[in-house]
Chains A and B, each alone.
Chain A
Amino acid sequence: MSRLPPHALPAADQSSCLLPCRPVSRSLLARERAAAAHASLSECHLCAHHCGVNRLAGDLGPCRAGPLPRAFAAQVEVGDELDLIPTLAIALSGCDLRCDFCITGSASWNPQAGELLRPETLGCRAQAALLGGARSIMILGGEPTIHLPGVLTVVAFIPDSAKLVWKTNAHGSSQARDWLDGIFDVWLADYKFGNDACALRLARISNYSRIVRENLLWADRHSELIVRHLLMPGHLDCCWRPVAEWLAAELPGVKVSLRAGFWPAWHADRHPELRRTVPTVEARRATEIAHGLRLNLIP
């Protein structure tokens, strides 16, 4: 499917415009939305928890995040999908999920980890990385959705020509999607669990399937979408197979990144099946399932 770059959206008043319409600058769009997004933290509904706490007043919801984002890493990496690398990966502290196997658990569960986000400085680092050969700028976490106002402020300092990647757990709200519309070129979205019981047990999250599917369908309509699934040991039939079948049925042709490099991090030892890496036989079967369903696997 061919699309305009998301930041090359027509001006909102184009129907009454007599002059040729110019694309709205992404950085301008981000700057305009940042203030309103920040104000929305007084009753936070950025993620699908819809906790409604007043983060500006210091109240804390499930993510425990305050109003100002912090970053625990910002470096050029080459471990992500080949379409995206090298990428400058900017990792924000804090998350709205509680995945026991999180590989960056101490920072992802602690929004106070790392350093206060400095948008102008990160903008300079992004420009330097792009000049040095980076193909994209990736905003990730933890979960960046909970820091959407700060992210928009950062985007305002990133060149419009840069390929921007939104790495997300796909647990955002419709309000968050409205703020994000037209900002990111690529959504790199996790589809972690194939059923709500595993999501509740491993990440303490309810209604997972409905929410993640809603986000994936939206992302596919509004940007380039890559769906990533981290294969977990012992979760081939309960998680990967249903994910694969849904993708084949509802998002045929979407890029799918099947990752088999699980390792038992953070609190994975709370779950006996997660105390190991993925056996070779399971990884092979997972690929066979993908091929059988004609999924568009990407490296």
Chain B
Amino acid sequence: MNTPAATDSADLPAGAPVCELLILSDGTVLAHNLTPAMASILQALNPADETLKRRALLVADSSSSPSPQP
């Protein structure tokens, strides 16, 4: 069996955002370490998904907060 990307990417530097997806043959997408950027992409691909909608909404809310200092 193939090892998923989750395990291959574990040694990446901490600063590189990582999100792993598993796409099933029926079109179901499973996500691990879901980042805000990936949540937005998946939500755009499937606007009807209620779970993603709520997570993407939270991302949108938080993005209106002050930006972190460089």
Chain A contacts to B: CB under 8 angstroms = 71-79, 82, 85-86, 89, 103-107, 113-115, 127-129, 131-135, 261, 263-266, 268-269, 275, 277, 299
Q: Are A133 and B62 in contact (CB under 8 A)?
A: yes
Q: Which of B1, B4, B59, B67 contacts A86 (CB 8 A)?
A: B59
Given A77-B33, A77-B34, is A132 in contact with B68 using a C-beta cutoff of 8 Å? Answer: yes
Q: Which of A73, A113, A275 contacts B18 (CB 8 A)?
A: A73
Contacts of A114 in B (CB 8 A): 10-11, 14
Q: Are B7 and A75 in contact (CB under 8 A)?
A: no
Tell me, in angstroms, the Cα distance from A85 to B8 when the chains sit together: 25
Q: Which of B6, B22, B61, B62 contacts A104 (CB 8 A)?
A: B6
Contacts of B31 in A (CB 8 A): 79, 261
Q: Are B14 and A265 in contact (CB under 8 A)?
A: no
Q: Are B35 and A75 in contact (CB under 8 A)?
A: yes
A-B pairs with CB below 8 Å: how many? 115
Q: Are B24 and A103 in contact (CB under 8 A)?
A: no
Q: Are B14 and A133 in contact (CB under 8 A)?
A: no
Contacts of B28 in A (CB 8 A): 277
Contacts of B68 in A (CB 8 A): 127-129, 131-132
Asked whether B17 is an interface residue with its Cβ less than 8 Å from the other chain, the reply is yes
A-B contact pairs, 25 of them (CB 8 A): A73-B12, A73-B14, A75-B35, A78-B34, A78-B58, A79-B33, A82-B55, A85-B55, A85-B58, A86-B58, A86-B59, A103-B20, A114-B14, A115-B13, A128-B68, A129-B68, A131-B66, A131-B69, A132-B67, A133-B61, A133-B64, A134-B62, A261-B30, A261-B32, A277-B28
CB distance from B5 to the nearest CB of A (A): 10
Tell me, in angstroms, the Cα distance from A114 to B18 when the chains sit together: 13
Q: Are A105 and B69 in contact (CB under 8 A)?
A: no
Q: Are B55 and A269 in contact (CB under 8 A)?
A: no
Please encode chain B, from 22 to 63, with 1 for each CB lying within 8 Å of some chain A CB and 0 for all others: 101000101111111001000000000001001110110111
Tell me, in angstroms, the Cα distance from A79 to B6 when the chains sit together: 14
Tell me, in angstroms, the Cα distance from A76 to B58 when the chains sit together: 12
Question: Which residue of chain B is the closest to A112 with respect to CB atoms?
Answer: B11
Contacts of B32 in A (CB 8 A): 79, 103, 261, 263
Given A128-B69, A131-B67, A299-B54, is A76 in contact with B36 using a C-beta cutoff of 8 Å? Answer: yes
Tell me, in angstroms, the Cα distance from A103 to B69 when the chains sit together: 33
